[in-house]
Chain A
Amino acid sequence: MKILATGLSARFTDLGRVGHQHKGFTQSGALDRNSHLLANSIVKVAENNPTIEVLLGGFKAVATQELEIAVTGAQSIIKIGDICQPLNKQLVWKKGETLQIMEPSLGARNYIACRHRFKTAMFLNSCCAVTREKTGGLNLDGKGLQIGDELSFENKALMTANASTSGVPDIAKLAHEKQINQSDPRSALKKVSLPTTRLAKHYTVRLVLGYQHALFDHKMKARFFNQRFSVSNEASNMGIRLTGESIGQVSVKLYSEGIANGAVQITPSGLPIIMLAERQTIGGYPKIGSIIANDLPELGQCRPGSTIQFEECDLLTARKEWLLRQVKMNRFRQNEPQTSVDE
């Protein structure tokens, strides 16, 4: 496929790098991890396969061979040729046709997965491009996709264990599963819902207290938890700077320390910055806690003007929510061949 327009940013992404932060390399990876996983699940490829992360639409490309793709994430109009296409479905994109993703009406990021594996360069076992570091990406220079880039594909289409190797759904298996579902009175309960990322203009995100939270007194915490902050224009894969009423300052000089994904720093102006996938590895602002892993994908769908409220969460709930989300995604993956045959 050939890139005709990239909008603000279109680039390869995956689940990011693991185990290189002590050297100063950022984690990176899909900001809406959930939509990335869903896209790969729909086209039945491994969860860490590269997808293209498109920020605020404006993406256009032409197919140089027939491809099976899926687009997930923000609520955008998607067109192949002149025909509007649904989100979260496997689509056939014929050779010579143009794929377009318009600016979303809700949410910020779309993910394009492809049944054929994109040929990407790998850096630290990830395809992610990090502009600030000048690492990763198609040419390992940290740049996102550029107009005119021609993307090629690995010859072997990678399959997950439950996908049939020929690319054709296993009819016998499907018929068997269907029969079970029809004869089972609990079949309605077995219906697998589509594990999409919830899209909204306002999000309540949950946070576990941590780091220097003891330095924030109850008034500061009240101001922190009891207001709707707005997402400023300074929102990127590195982090989201929020505006609102200052919660006040803590006077403490800290040594720089490791920053967790979702950590909420309070700047000297008393306003929060949520640190995300491409954050710097260490920093010295006081932190009140971190957004729970389960709620991070929603932050990937925030855009300037979205509002955010924090809600306190305990560690056991946080882990339970995250594990449940993985279970839902896995159930969807296992059931996917069945749902796709009805189309």
Chain B
Amino acid sequence: MADDSTMMIENDNDIIEIRTASDCSVILYVDDTTIGLETANTIIEILTRTLLANKPDWLCEYIPSYTSLMIEFSLYDIDHLGVNAFLRQLVSDLSTQITDFVAEKPSAFKRIDSEQNTAKNHNVEVPISPSKRMHRIPVCYELSAAETDLSKIAQEKKMSKERVIASHSENTYRVYATGFMPGFAYLGELPEALSQPRLSKPRLKVPKGAVAIADRQTAIYPDESPGGWHIIGYTPLDLLFKASDKVGSEHGDIEALLKTGDYVEFYPITESEYLGWASS
């Protein structure tokens, strides 16, 4: 048997590759070297949506991240050859759209009409274009009595605190991945001027709601957690919605506010606004 751990997709761009992740999962990569991270991440988002629109019965888990999509399957229902064949078909059916998207034709993601569908004998259903879900998140950048690295960052970057705040809140961020802890979203890309490596010594406790930065990324801590990012503010918003939290409840589902592919903007609020928000 040939090396089955890697399979290049026969695609005009050869930017999508499927590899083995484990005996019951594969990982699909989009090469971002020529197309850039945002485009690569958008292709991951489209692949994820298409996968979910077709929801094969062997699908157990899917984890989209920056430039990859991991897919876990049920060993009872299919083997890796079947999964690879399915994914190659899915990518090949999407290849025109992906090529157009890479060539920056925004119309490429309109829902393709049924006539075209039959003509090409598509095996997969192509979902509508990725909607831009935009979240506007209030941040109190100067909350007294709360731990912050704002002054330190301003000093190191030789900027005023106001300039740091403006720089962080004037940008629009994309959710490139979620993980690390439930509801934690990796937002990019942070302006180069604010970029700096993680703390050499991580904090044992980063408070809930802390807005923090590291490298070219920013994020919000959905709950108290150890963490190595620089804290620059706090949001009063809850990033997780609990459907139920009673003992004996049958089904306690929970949803994260920020999902991969969403967009986020921060806006400054005052301390009294923050406190009012938190108590309401």
Name A's B-contacting residues (CB within 8 A). 18-19, 21-25, 27, 119, 121-125, 132-135, 138-140, 208-211, 213-214, 255-263, 280-283, 289-293, 313-316, 318-319, 322-323, 326
Contact = CB atoms under 8 A, between A and B. Distances in A.
A257 B60 contact: no
B68 interface: yes
Given A208-B22, A315-B79, A319-B23, A257 B66 contact: yes
A281 B63 contact: yes
Interface of B: 1, 4-6, 19-25, 27, 60-70, 72, 75-76, 79-80, 176-184, 186, 223, 245-256, 260
B212 to A, nearest CB: 16
A323 B5 CA distance: 21
Contacts of A208: 5, 20, 22-23
Contacts of A211: 19-21, 27
B19 A258 contact: no
Contacts of B179: 24, 256, 280-283
A21 B178 CA distance: 9
B180 to A, nearest CB: 6
A317 B240 CA distance: 41
Given A258-B68, A258-B70, A140 B22 contact: no
Given A22-B64, A138-B247, A210 B252 contact: no
A310 to B, nearest CB: 14
Contacts of B249: 121-122
Contacts of B176: 255
Given A123-B252, A208-B22, A323-B75, 11 more contacts: A19-B60, A22-B61, A23-B182, A24-B179, A121-B247, A135-B254, A211-B19, A211-B20, A258-B65, A258-B69, A258-B70
B245 A140 contact: yes
A138 B176 CA distance: 34
30 contacts: A18-B60, A21-B63, A22-B178, A23-B255, A25-B182, A121-B248, A122-B252, A123-B252, A125-B251, A135-B182, A140-B252, A208-B23, A209-B5, A210-B20, A210-B21, A210-B22, A255-B68, A256-B66, A257-B70, A258-B65, A261-B22, A282-B63, A282-B177, A282-B179, A290-B25, A292-B23, A313-B23, A315-B80, A319-B79, A323-B76
